[in-house]
Structure 1
């Protein structure tokens, strides 16, 4: 049975929090959307028939101003085509890399009250995801 991830485990999030917060970070996001978004009962979008992709677009619309305010920017975005190396049962709809000026900016974003409301759209949209932190490195050159 495949495992699905939407939110970080407490241990993984603690490891993230233990890393330096005053240096730039890159966050690799891999996304697999639900066929039909799953909003909680009572939410304004519950039962509206949105696809997971449409719900994620709403997440982008509602979280985007906060992301930009903290200095975040998308530095790469693409649509998944094929698994070349890795488990055959893992495929993604979309992926992107977000850059933050420092890890503290990411924490500022996720603790913002408006972001906490916006993230409901992300949770409704996704059946599976991966979020991985990287430190920036050199661009260009060869492998290794």
Structure 2
């Protein structure tokens, strides 16, 4: 099964081509490694962290940048069962991050401290999905 940690060039170019001046929601689906995989020489290599612990470190180190650009978590949940989709794909956690606009997301990922912090994300994950959505309001119907 193909796994994804970072966006493909093609997908990232499509993301960059979308409007940057409107609010966005980013759906994150996460599957953690049993043991985090840090590059040799990294300060956390050899600590024996599992993927969830490494992702917690990512949150701790990237959180201040995320909040500075106006980001917030609007939904978070722990995976329980695949209802529609491949039964072999399981996730550990999911969340929706809100950004005031796409430019805020780009500001975050270009930040030097974020680029240092993202090593923890890469070390933590076996697989992930990151999907951009235009925020919608609450409703009592599906359509």
TM-score range, shorter chain: over 0.9
1:81-96 matches, within 5 Å, as 81-96=80-95
Other-structure match for 1:27: 26
| SS of aligned partner of 1:41 | coil
| SS of aligned partner of 1:96 | strand
Q: Distance in 2 between matches of 1:128 and 1:141?
A: 33
1:140, distance to aligned residue in structure 2 (A): 2.0
Other-structure match for 1:106: 105
Provide structure 2 residue ranges, at least 5 long, that are not aligned to the other structure: none
Other-structure match for 2:51: 52
TM-score by length of 1: 0.98
Runs of 4 or more off by more than 3 Å in structure 1? none
User: What is the total number of aligned residue pairs between the two structures?
Assistant: 143
Provide structure 1 residue ranges, at least 5 long, that are not aligned to the other structure: none
1:20, distance to aligned residue in structure 2 (A): 0.2
Q: Distance in 2 between matches of 1:55 and 1:140?
A: 36
Other-structure match for 2:135: 136
1:89, distance to aligned residue in structure 2 (A): 1.2
1:48, distance to aligned residue in structure 2 (A): 0.6
Report Cα offsets for 1:27-66 as digits up to 9, x if no partner: 0000000000000001000011000000000000000000
Q: Distance in 2 between matches of 1:104 and 1:89?
A: 36
Root-mean-square deviation (CA, aligned residues, Å) is 0.4
Q: Distance in 2 between matches of 1:81 and 1:55?
A: 22
Q: Distance in 2 between matches of 1:138 and 1:112?
A: 31
Q: Distance in 2 between matches of 1:85 and 1:35?
A: 26
Q: Distance in 2 between matches of 1:9 and 1:88?
A: 25
1:141, distance to aligned residue in structure 2 (A): 2.1
| SS of aligned partner of 2:64 | helix
| SS of aligned partner of 2:113 | helix
1:13, distance to aligned residue in structure 2 (A): 0.2
